[in-house]
A and B are shown apart, each in its own frame.
Chain A
Amino acid sequence: MSDTQRSGAGASGEELLSLDATELARRLHAREVSSVEVTRAHLERIEAVDGDGGGDGVHAFLHVDADGALAAAEVADRAIADGGPVSPLAGVPIAVKDNMTTTDMPTTCGSRILDGWRPPYDATVVGRLRAAGLVPLGKTNLDEFAMGSSTENSAFGPSRNPWDLTRIPGGSGGGSSAAVAAGEAPLALGSDTGGSIRQPGAVTGTVGVKPTYGTVSRFGLVAFSSSLDQIGPCGRSVLDAALLHEVIAGHDPRDQTSVDAPVPPVVEAALAGARGDLAGVRVGVVSEFAGEGYQPGVSAAFTDAVRVLGELGADVVEVSCPSFSYALPAYYLIAPSEASSNLARFDAMRYGLRVGDDGSRSTDDVMSLTREAGFGAEVKRRIMIGTHALSAGSYDALYGKAQKARTLIVRDFTAAFETCDVLVSPTTPTTAFRIGERIDDPLAMYLADLCTIPSNLAGNAAISVPCGTSADDGLPVGLQVMAPALADDRAYRVAAAYETARGESTGPRIPELRALEGSR
Chain B
Amino acid sequence: MTAVVESAPYTVEEVCEHFDPVMGLEVHVELNTATKMFCGCANAFGAEPNTNVCPVCLGLPGSLPRLNGAAVESAIRIGLALNCRVRERSGFARKNYFYPDMPKNFQISQYEDPIVFDGYLDVPLDDGTTWRVEIERAHMEEDTGKSLHVGGATGRIHGADYSLLDYNRSGVPLIEIVTRPIIGAGVRAPEVARAYVTALRDVLRGLGVSDVRMDQGSMRCDANVSLMPKGTSTFGTRTETKNVNSLRSVERAVRYEMGRHAGVLLSGGAIRQETRHFDEQSGTTSPGRPKETFADYRFFPEPDLPPLEPSADWVESLRAGLPERPWERRARVQTEWGLSDEELRDLVNADALDLVADTVDAGAPPEAARSWWVSYLAQQANTAGVALTELAITPAQVARVVAMVAEGTLTNKLARQVVDGVLAGEGEPDEVVAGRGLAVVSDESALTAAVDEALAAQPAVAEKIKAGKTKAAGAIVGAVMKATRGQADAARVQELVLERCR
Contact = CB atoms under 8 A, between A and B. Distances in A.
A445 B60 CA distance: 30
Given A344-B98, A367-B98, A387-B298, A257 B62 contact: no
Interface string A185-220: 000000000000000000000000000000000111
Interface stretch (B63-71, B124-132, B228-236, B455-463): B63-71
A123 B62 contact: yes
Contacts of A337: 300
Interface in A410-458: none
B499 interface: no
Contacts of A120: 55, 60
B163 interface: yes
A87 interface: no
Given A227-B303, A349-B100, A390-B96, A256 B62 contact: no
A119 interface: yes
Nearest to A393: B296
B70 to A, nearest CB: 16
B87 interface: no
Nearest to B105: A344
Contacts of A341: 94, 96, 106, 298, 300
Contacts of A338: 300, 303
B305 interface: yes
B306 interface: yes
B64 A101 contact: no
A121 B305 contact: no
B61 A256 contact: no
Interface string B88-110: 00000010101010011110000
Interface residues of B, number: 30
A256 B67 contact: yes
Interface residues of A, number: 44
Nearest to B67: A256
Given A226-B304, A256-B64, A391 B296 contact: yes
A520 interface: no
A347 B105 contact: yes
B291 to A, nearest CB: 13
A350 B101 CA distance: 10
Nearest to A100: B62
Nearest to A258: B64
B61 A222 contact: yes
A392 B106 CA distance: 16
B64 A255 contact: yes
Contacts of B165: 349-350
Contacts of A391: 296, 298
Name A's interface SS: loop
Nearest to B161: A359
A78 interface: no
B225 interface: no
B60 A390 contact: no
With a 10 A CB-CB cut-off, give which of A107, A337, A345, A391 has the most chain B CB atoms: A345
Name B's interface SS: loop
Contact of B303 (A101, A226, A364): A226
With a 10 A CB-CB cut-off, give which of A109, A340, A346, A390 has the most chain B CB atoms: A390
Contacts of A114: 61
Contacts of A100: 62
Contacts of B298: 340-341, 387, 390-392, 395
A375 interface: no
B72 interface: no
A520 B157 CA distance: 57
B427 interface: no
A336 to B, nearest CB: 12
Given A226-B303, A256-B66, A347-B100, A119 B60 contact: yes
Contact of B305 (A101, A109, A256): A256
B105 A363 contact: no
A399 interface: yes
Contacts of A346: 61
Contact of B304 (A257, A351, A367): A257
B365 interface: no
B58 A101 contact: no
Contacts of B105: 344-345, 347
B300 A256 contact: no
A14 to B, nearest CB: 37
A256 B66 CA distance: 6
A221 B63 CA distance: 8
Nearest to B147: A363
A344 B305 contact: no
Contact of A350 (B103, B157, B303, B305): B103
A399 B306 CA distance: 19
Interface in B143-188: 157, 163, 165
A219 B305 CA distance: 13
B157 A222 contact: no
Given A256-B64, A391-B298, A345 B104 contact: yes
5 contacts: A117-B61, A338-B303, A341-B94, A344-B96, A364-B98
Interface of A: 100-101, 107, 109, 114, 117, 119-121, 123, 218-223, 225-227, 253-257, 337-338, 340-341, 344-347, 349-351, 363-364, 367, 387, 390-392, 395, 399
Q: Which 10 A-B pairs have the closest CB atoms?
A: A344-B105, A390-B298, A226-B303, A227-B303, A222-B61, A220-B62, A101-B62, A345-B104, A222-B62, A349-B100
Given A219-B63, A390-B96, 18 more contacts: A101-B61, A109-B61, A117-B61, A119-B60, A121-B63, A223-B61, A256-B65, A256-B67, A256-B304, A337-B300, A338-B303, A341-B94, A344-B98, A347-B98, A349-B165, A350-B58, A390-B298, A399-B300
Interface of B: 55, 58-67, 94, 96, 98, 100, 103-106, 157, 163, 165, 296, 298-300, 303-306
